[in-house]
Amino acid sequence: MLADVIDLLACPLCGARTHLAGGSVRCGSGHSFDVARQGYVNMLTRPAGTADTPDMVAARARFLDAGHYGPLARRLARLCAGAEVVADAGAGTGHYLAAALGDGAVGIALDVSKHALRRAARAHPRVGAVVADVWRPLPVGDDRVDVLLNVFAPRNAPEFARVLRPGGTLVVVTPGPGHLRPLVERLGLLSVDEDKERRLEESLGGAFTREGEETEEFALSLGHEEVGAVVGMGPSAWHTRPEELAAKIGDLPDPVEVSASFRVSRWAART
């Protein structure tokens, strides 16, 4: 796990290379970061923003592990084919990263939620899980990553460009306009921002050039428990009251037909 990626990591405080020493990750300058018994290392240098809660992580694990977003995972695996080092900024439980690793490839799961990384550390035998804030310097060395995944997660363009090797690829997944219909309307969930694509271009355009975009869309037939999981694993979990949500879900057909819609864009760092 961490041993497979330790040579790819860098101290978030000074940028020095790291090594494993007992139960910690250390750099040559003497900075030390504890490795949890679950296998992840916490390399936060200051308190971070909102992180996924244990309930959100559990909901995500139930939903993704059941294979509901399998077509998206397989598309990401195709885009990562041949990569030796894949990192995922906002990796969550490590589901997509684990699916993307080919023979001999290693992965770095980066997320601000230690609850998510407890699962990511076990998602694949060659994944190293690191608690990190995407808005701060990433604990990854310069030019180390072949493909960087960013699935429904914040983006730090300068840091993404720094860690990618020359010729590397940034793969960004954002929700399409029809994602999770009719649940959005029936349950009062957060809808996709109409300016999302413009904001994506603004956030990355200074450091990256868009190389292409694909759409992944498919239908899902979800029971009430699965509806609760897909709502509970996303941002709407912060904005819905459990008792009200349960009542609305109870009024849905069982199962209910739901649309999944994703935009998968590929970006190359500007030289």
Per-position b or e across 11-33, b if 16+ CB within 10 A of its CB: bbeeeeebeeeeeebbbeeebeb
pLDDT reported for residue 225: 96
The fraction of the chain above a pLDDT of 70, given in percent, is: 99
Q: Is the distance from CB of 48 to CB of 112 less than 8 angstroms?
A: yes
**37 to 7, 25, 52, 121: CA distances (angstroms):** 21, 13, 20, 10
pLDDT digits (tens, 9 = 90+) for 190-215: 777 667 778 888 889 889 999 999 99
DSSP conformational letter for 133: -
Per the structure block, which two tokens stand in for 150? 């960013």
Q: For 40-58, what is each residue's pLDDT tens digit?
A: 999 999 887 778 899 999 9
Task: Find out whether 171 and 79 touch, Cβ atoms under 8 Å.
Answer: yes
Give the three-class secondary structure for 95. helix
Tokens encoding 159? 């840091």
* Distance (Å, whole) CA 17 – CA 97: 23
DSSP notation for 208-240: EEEEEEEEEEEEEEE-HHHHHHHHHTSGGGGS-
Q: What is the pTM of this model?
A: 0.94
Using DSSP, state whether 124 is helix, strand or coil.
coil
**Hey, what domains does the chain have and what are their CATH numbers?**
39-269 (3.40.50.150)
pLDDT at site 197: 78
Quickly state the pLDDT bin for 241 (edges 50, 70, 90): confident
Percent of the chain clearing pLDDT 90 (strictly above): 84
| Mean pLDDT, residues 15-35 taken together | 95
DSSP state string for 26-90: EETTS-EEEBPTTS-EE--SS--S----HHHHHHHHHHHHTTTTHHHHHHHHHHTTT-SEEEEET
Q: For residue 46, what are the contacts with CB-CB under 8 A and spacing of at least 6?
A: 133, 136
SS3 content of the chain, % helix, strand, coil (to 5): 30, 30, 40
Q: According to the model, what pLDDT value does residue 41 have?
A: 97
Q: Residue 21's pLDDT is what?
A: 94
Pair of tokens at residue 14: 């000074």
From CA 184, how far away is CA 255, in angstroms rounded? 16
pLDDT band at 236 (very low <50, low <70, confident <90, very high): confident
Q: How far is CA 129 from CA 57, 251, 260, in A?
A: 15, 40, 28
